Structure 1
Amino acid sequence: MLKEVSSAEFKETVNDGLVLADFFSTTCGPCKMLSFVLNDVEKEFGDDLKILKVDFDQNKDLTAEYGVTGYPTLILLKEGSEVARMQGLQQKPAIIKMIQEHK
């Protein structure tokens, strides 16, 4: 199950290995479709990857800090540093490829 986090929770978790941050909006159709894809991605990687859902509207500090200007935006972080980014609705193979390239 994907976990929606606050800014504080995000900052506590972001340095723990490989983290995929999903910046989304509750009113965004592609964001909702991406959640189904990310559920599958999460099953594939298990404990090797944490997926955090960050509400674009509720966490303006994080969206500013990471320069997120639209949604959905996926940011892959390794030990707290950004290593890759994708914007818009993505397919599972593209997301998996991005993650595997930075494992």
Structure 2
Amino acid sequence: MEYTITGLIRPGTMVELTGEQINQEITNENGLILVDVFATWCGPCRVIIPQLIDVAKQLDNKIRVVKLDSDQNQEWASQYEVQGLPTLLLIKDGNVIDRLEGAYMSNEIIDFVQQKHR
């Protein structure tokens, strides 16, 4: 398995993608993707950014961490039933296996990912 199908994601980093790009990743790749659904006007969404960067660094090539602007990708956010912001969607092998709503610390996010990836 290649790390990314779009070529836009690098291990240990977090990148913003469009809904279409995320769909390409989850359709064509196996493995874990953590999608941070956010909005630029959302305070907690800004607070969680450093935490997600830390998660990406700590989990490195074990997971792809991406961001999706819900205002720019409303159809995608609606399709995945995003109600509150920020919402973290954990996607494995193309399916959402769990979600977190709200701002969390990096250690809590890592625990969440590791519990679901057993």
Q: Answer whether TM exceeds 0.5 for this pair.
A: yes
The one of 76, 79, 88 equivalent to 1:62 is: 76
Residue by residue, what CA displacement relative to the aligned partner does 1:29-86 show, whole Å, maximum 9, x if unpaired? 1111101000000011111100110101000111111100121000101011111110
User: Which whole-Å CA distance do the structure 2 matches of 1:42 and 1:14 have between them?
Assistant: 17
The question of whether the paired residues in 2 share the 8 Å contact of 1:84 and 1:98 is answered with: no
1:92 alignment counterpart: 106
Q: Aligned AA for 1:82?
A: V
Gaps of 5+ in 1: none
1:3, 1:52 within 8 Å by CA — same for their partners in 2?
Answer: yes
Structure 2 stretches lacking a partner, 5+ long: 1-12
Q: Is 2:65 aligned against 1:51?
A: yes
Separation (CA, whole Å) in 2 of partners of 1:28 and 1:2: 18
TM-score, length-scaled by structure 1:
0.94
Q: Distance in 2 between matches of 1:55 and 1:85?
A: 17
Q: Which aligned segments of 4 or more residues in structure 1 are displaced greater than 6 angstroms?
A: none
2-structure distance, mates of 1:2, 1:18: 14
* CA RMSD, Structure 1 to Structure 2 (Å): 1.0
1:27 Cα deviation after fit: 1.0
The DSSP-based 3-state class of the residue aligned with 2:88 is strand
User: Which AA in structure 1 matches 2:16?
Assistant: E
2:54: which partner in 1? 40
- Are the equivalent residues in 2 in contact too, given 1:5–1:52 (CA < 8 A)? yes
| Partner AA of 2:20 in structure 1 | A
> What is the aligned-residue identity percentage?
33
Measure, in 1, the Cα distance between the counterparts of 2:102 and 2:91.
18
1:7 is aligned to 2:19: yes
How many residue pairs end up in the alignment? 103
Amino acid of the structure 2 residue aligned with 1:8: E
Secondary structure, counterpart of 2:90 in structure 1: strand
Query: What residue identity is the alignment partner of 1:12?
Result: Q
Instruction: Give the CA deviation at 1:10.
Output: 0.7
